Chains A and B, each alone.
Chain A
Amino acid sequence: MKTLFPLFAVITLIVLVVAGVQYANMQFLFGVIIPYLAVATFVAGLIYRVMKWASSPVPFRIPTTCGQELSLPWIKQDKLESPSGTLGVIGRMALEVLLFRSLFRNIKLDMREGPRIAYGSDKWLWLSGLAFHWSFLIILIRHFRLFAIQLPYPIHVIESLDSFLQIGVPMLYITDVVILAAVTYLFIRRITNPLVRYISLPADYFPLFLILAVAGSGVLMRYFTKVDVVGVKQLTMGLISFRPVVPQGIGIIFYIHLFLISVLFAYFPFSKLVHMAGVFLSPTRNMANNNRMVRHVNPWDYPVHVHTYEEYENDFREKMKSVGIPVEKE
Chain B
Amino acid sequence: MAKFTAKPNDLLKINYNPPQTDWMDTPVEIREHMYCHPSKKKDLDTVGFPNGRDWRVADEDWKLPANWEQTILEGMQALLKKYRSFSVFMDICVRCGACADKCHFFIGTGDPKNMPVLRAELLRSVYRGNFTLAGKILKKIAGARDLTVNVLKEWWYYFYQCTECRRCSVFCPYGIDQAEITMMGRELTNLLGLQIGWSGGPIAACYMKGNHLGLEPHTVKSCIDLFSEDIETITGIKIEPSFNRKGAEILFVTPSGDLFANPGTYTAMGYLMLFHELGLDYTWSTYASEGGNFGFFSTNEMAKRLNAKIYAEAKRLGVKWILGGECGHMWRVLHQYMDTWNGPADFLQEPVSPITGTKFENAKSTKMVHISEFTADLIKNGKLKLDKSRNDHLKVTYHDSCNPARGMGMLEEPRYVIKNVCKNFYEMPENTIREKTFCCGSGSGINASENMELRMRGGLPRANAVKFVHDKYGVNMLACVCAIDRATLSAANEYWVPEVGVTGVTELVANALVMKGEKERTLDIRLEPLPGKEGSEEVS
CB-CB under 8 A from B112, the residues of chain A are 195, 198-199
Do residues B222 and A323 form an inter-chain contact, with CB atoms below 8 A? yes
Do residues A56 and B207 form an inter-chain contact, with CB atoms below 8 A? no
CB-CB under 8 A from A117, the residues of chain B are 107, 460-461, 464-465
Do residues B86 and A325 form an inter-chain contact, with CB atoms below 8 A? no
Q: Given contact pairs A105-B170, A304-B308, enumerate 16 new A-B contacts (beta carbons under 8 Å).
A: A60-B340, A61-B336, A75-B376, A111-B14, A115-B460, A198-B18, A199-B118, A202-B142, A202-B143, A279-B175, A281-B84, A283-B84, A301-B341, A312-B208, A316-B217, A320-B286
Which A residues between 288 and 324 are near B, CB-CB below 8 angstroms? 289-298, 300-301, 304-309, 312-313, 315-316, 319-320, 322-323
B93 (CB) vs chain A CBs: closest residue: A272
Q: How far is the CB of B531 from chain A (nearest CB, A)?
A: 30
Q: Can you list, as one digit per residue, whether each of A11-29 has a CB less than 8 Å from chain B (1) or not (0)? A: 0000000000000000000
Among A76, A105, A200, A296, find the residue whose CB has the most chain B CB atoms closer than 10 A: A105
A188 is an interface residue with CB less than 8 A from chain B: no
Do residues B115 and A56 form an inter-chain contact, with CB atoms below 8 A? no
Do residues B221 and A292 form an inter-chain contact, with CB atoms below 8 A? no
Q: Can you list, as one digit per residue, whether each of A100-143 has a CB less than 8 Å from chain B (1) or not (0)? A: 10110111110100011101000001000100000000000000
A160 is an interface residue with CB less than 8 A from chain B: no
Please judge, given known A-B contacts A52-B87, A56-B86, A296-B339, whether A304 and B305 are in contact too, CB under 8 Å.
Answer: yes
Do residues B460 and A56 form an inter-chain contact, with CB atoms below 8 A? no
CB-CB under 8 A from A57, the residues of chain B are 82-84
Q: How far is the CA of A279 from the CA of B171 in the complex (A)?
A: 14
Q: How far is the CB of B204 from chain A (nearest CB, A)?
A: 10
Q: How far is the CA of A153 from the CA of B335 in the complex (A)?
A: 50
Q: How far is the CA of A109 from the CA of B468 in the complex (A)?
A: 16
Q: How far is the CB of A50 from chain B (nearest CB, A)?
A: 10
Number of interface residues of B (CB under 8 A): 116
Do residues A111 and B174 form an inter-chain contact, with CB atoms below 8 A? no
Do residues A65 and B287 form an inter-chain contact, with CB atoms below 8 A? no
A270 is an interface residue with CB less than 8 A from chain B: yes
Chain A interface residues toward B at CB < 8 A:
2, 5, 49, 52-62, 64-72, 74-76, 78, 81-82, 84, 96, 100, 102-103, 105-109, 111, 115-117, 119, 125, 129, 193-196, 198-204, 270-272, 274-275, 278-279, 281-285, 289-298, 300-301, 304-309, 312-313, 315-316, 319-320, 322-323, 325-326
B118 (CB) vs chain A CBs: closest residue: A199
Please judge, given known A-B contacts A279-B92, A292-B364, whether A67 and B246 are in contact too, CB under 8 Å.
Answer: no
CB-CB under 8 A from A301, the residues of chain B are 340-341
Do residues A306 and B222 form an inter-chain contact, with CB atoms below 8 A? no
B84 (CB) vs chain A CBs: closest residue: A56
CB-CB under 8 A from B121, the residues of chain A are 199
Q: How far is the CA of A57 from the CA of B208 in the complex (A)?
A: 32
Which B residues between 302 and 346 are near A, CB-CB below 8 angstroms? 304-305, 308-309, 312-313, 316, 334-337, 339-341, 343-344
Please judge, given known A-B contacts A58-B84, A301-B340, whether A65 and B141 are in contact too, CB under 8 Å.
Answer: no
Please judge, given known A-B contacts A283-B85, A316-B216, A320-B217, whether A298 and B409 are in contact too, CB under 8 Å.
Answer: no
Do residues A274 and B92 form an inter-chain contact, with CB atoms below 8 A? yes
Q: How far is the CA of A52 from the CA of B77 in the complex (A)?
A: 13
B286 (CB) vs chain A CBs: closest residue: A325
Do residues A64 and B175 form an inter-chain contact, with CB atoms below 8 A? yes
Chain B interface residues toward A at CB < 8 A:
12, 14, 16-18, 22-23, 48, 80-89, 91-98, 100-101, 107, 112, 115, 117-118, 121, 133-134, 141-143, 166, 169-177, 180, 207-210, 216-218, 221-222, 243-246, 286-287, 301, 304-305, 308-309, 312-313, 316, 334-337, 339-341, 343-344, 358, 360-366, 368, 373, 376-377, 380, 405-413, 416, 429, 431-432, 434-436, 460-461, 464-465, 468
Q: How far is the CA of A53 from the CA of B316 in the complex (A)?
A: 41
Q: How far is the CB of B177 from chain A (nearest CB, A)?
A: 5
Q: How far is the CB of B150 from chain A (nearest CB, A)?
A: 19
Q: How far is the CA of A304 from the CA of B134 in the complex (A)?
A: 38
Q: How far is the CA of A66 from the CA of B436 in the complex (A)?
A: 8
Do residues A72 and B380 form an inter-chain contact, with CB atoms below 8 A? yes
Q: How far is the CB of B143 from chain A (nearest CB, A)?
A: 4
CB-CB under 8 A from A59, the residues of chain B are 82-83, 340
Do residues B94 and A272 form an inter-chain contact, with CB atoms below 8 A? yes
Q: How far is the CA of A68 from the CA of B404 in the complex (A)?
A: 10
A108 (CB) vs chain B CBs: closest residue: B101
Do residues B97 and A65 form an inter-chain contact, with CB atoms below 8 A? no
Q: How far is the CB of B273 from chain A (nearest CB, A)?
A: 22
Contact of A67 among B97, B172, B366, B411 (CB under 8 A): B411
Please judge, given known A-B contacts A69-B409, A193-B97, whether A111 and B16 are in contact too, CB under 8 Å.
Answer: yes
Q: How far is the CA of A67 from the CA of B412 in the complex (A)?
A: 10
Do residues B305 and A306 form an inter-chain contact, with CB atoms below 8 A? yes
Q: How far is the CA of A322 from the CA of B218 in the complex (A)?
A: 8
Main secondary structure of the interface of B (DSSP, over half): helix
Main secondary structure of the interface of A (DSSP, over half): loop
Do residues A199 and B431 form an inter-chain contact, with CB atoms below 8 A? no
Q: How far is the CB of B215 from chain A (nearest CB, A)?
A: 11
CB-CB under 8 A from A75, the residues of chain B are 376, 412-413, 416
Q: How far is the CB of B97 from chain A (nearest CB, A)?
A: 4
CB-CB under 8 A from B411, the residues of chain A are 67-69
Q: How far is the CA of A104 from the CA of B304 in the complex (A)?
A: 37
Q: How far is the CA of A66 from the CA of B406 in the complex (A)?
A: 6
Do residues A106 and B312 form an inter-chain contact, with CB atoms below 8 A? no
Q: How far is the CB of B301 from chain A (nearest CB, A)?
A: 6
CB-CB under 8 A from B18, the residues of chain A are 194-195, 198
Contact of B217 among A60, A296, A300, A319 (CB under 8 A): A319
A308 (CB) vs chain B CBs: closest residue: B312
A-B contact pairs, 28 of them (CB 8 A): A49-B91, A56-B84, A60-B336, A62-B85, A65-B407, A74-B380, A75-B416, A78-B409, A106-B171, A111-B14, A115-B464, A196-B97, A196-B100, A198-B118, A204-B94, A279-B174, A282-B89, A295-B365, A298-B340, A305-B305, A307-B305, A309-B316, A315-B209, A319-B216, A323-B218, A325-B244, A326-B243, A326-B245
B101 (CB) vs chain A CBs: closest residue: A109
Do residues B413 and A72 form an inter-chain contact, with CB atoms below 8 A? yes
Across chains A and B, which 3 residue pairs bring their CB atoms closest together, nearest first?
Answer: A69-B409, A65-B409, A278-B92
Do residues A199 and B100 form an inter-chain contact, with CB atoms below 8 A? yes
Q: How far is the CA of A282 from the CA of B313 in the complex (A)?
A: 35
Among B14, B97, B177, find the residue whose CB has the most chain A CB atoms closer than 10 A: B97
Do residues A62 and B341 form an inter-chain contact, with CB atoms below 8 A? no
Please judge, given known A-B contacts A56-B84, A293-B365, A306-B305, whether A275 and B101 are in contact too, CB under 8 Å.
Answer: no
Do residues B115 and A199 form an inter-chain contact, with CB atoms below 8 A? yes
CB-CB under 8 A from B100, the residues of chain A are 195-196, 199
Do residues B92 and A64 form an inter-chain contact, with CB atoms below 8 A? no
Q: How far is the CB of A208 from chain B (nearest CB, A)?
A: 11
CB-CB under 8 A from B406, the residues of chain A are 64-66
